[in-house]
Amino acid sequence: MEIRKQPGSVIRHEVSAEDLALINRLARASLTGDQVYTFAIRLCDNEVDRDWERFDERSLEKLSSLFVGKSGIFDHNWTAGGQTARLYKTEVCEEDGVTLAGDPCRYLKGYAYMLRNEKNQALIDEIEAGIKKEVSVGCSVQKRVCSICGEDHCGHQGGRRYEGKLCYFTLMQPTDAYEWSFVAVPAQRKAGVIKGFSADAGGLRRLLAGHPEYLEQWEAMEKEAELGRRYMTGLRKDLVRLAGMADESLDLRIFARAADRMEEAELKELTRVYRARVDAAYSPVTQLKPRCFTPQDDEDGAFRV
């Protein structure tokens, strides 16, 4: 399972003798402090993000070792020409607060280096100016566990509440770390920018996640809207059925597409018209003829039905 998470920002970091020693383990030529530019990155954390997913602390520890030596690129474009920097050190850090999952807040911090040269100077300037700061990680995990049922694959929907309990998925057992990228739109909340956000049901649910009382109202409205959609679907199906019975020459595929664009009043009026035509064309006929009967036939004749 391939995972991409975008939590955090670039932080200025001064190179030390210890840093330089770690950098030179990765470099083929011995580099000096004047030749490299270093910065720290918040790679990922254990908070529930806008995709309703999170890493647990054990996953962060595993990713910490997997990300050492991994390249930094742009927008997950896996080309050698996009390589800009490399991680030479990582660590799992603590911070104040508790996650939505109830765990103490932890995040994975990475330290990257790049060469100070003419080619990289524009990027260094953008990092220093705070323009290039959001980053994303690409990795793979073995399990994605639901907070409701504990299963890897299930029908629960992230962001919904089931009997008052929030549904999210914990990413566990990382197997590989591919790269980290400079991106424009991160997913995790610490980045402050929403990834691929749009005003759809999922986006609104994510937006209301911090306000459980409004989220419950939204979910109730969703159920009512679903009932309304079913009602309109039933009206359209009934209209198409009646139209086909009333006029066999009608192309029902074209008529059904037209019906999909009709409002309730239009559907009801056309349904009334076509139902009248169907009733006229297929008027009910009695299958049994009435029996001629007089009360004189027998004593109980007055009571026969």
Q: Give the model confidence (pLDDT) of 246-256 as tens digits.
A: 888 888 888 88
pLDDT value at residue 258: 87
Q: Where do the DSSP E strands lie in 16-64?
A: 36-45, 53-55
pLDDT value at residue 301: 54
> CA 121, CA 41: separation in Å to the nearest integer?
19
* 26 inside domain: yes
pLDDT value at residue 223: 83
- pTM, two decimals, is 0.56
* 302 inside domain: no
- For 30-65, the pLDDT digits (tens) are 888 889 888 888 888 999 887 899 999 999 999 999
* 299 inside domain: no
Q: Give the pLDDT mean for 268-297.
A: 75
* 294 inside domain: no
* 112 inside domain: yes
Q: Is the dihedral of CA 219, 225, 227, 230 positive or negative?
A: negative
Mention every residue, 6+ apart, whose C-beta is less than 8 A from residue 179: 70, 71, 72, 73, 76, 78, 137, 138
* 303 inside domain: no
Q: Both 85 and 52 in a single domain? A: yes
Q: Is the pLDDT of residue 203 over 70?
A: no
Supply the mean pLDDT for the chain. 79
Paired strand residues for 136? 181
* 293 inside domain: no
Q: Both 89 and 137 in a single domain? A: yes
- For 94-122, the pLDDT digits (tens) are 988 999 899 999 999 889 888 888 988 88
Q: Both 8 and 112 in a single domain? A: yes
Q: Both 155 and 28 in a single domain? A: yes
pLDDT value at residue 64: 93
- Give the chain's length: 305
Q: Both 172 and 260 in a single domain? A: no
Tally the C-alpha atoms within 13 A of residue 201's C-alpha that lie toward its C-beta: 12
**Which domain range does residue 27 map to?**
2-197
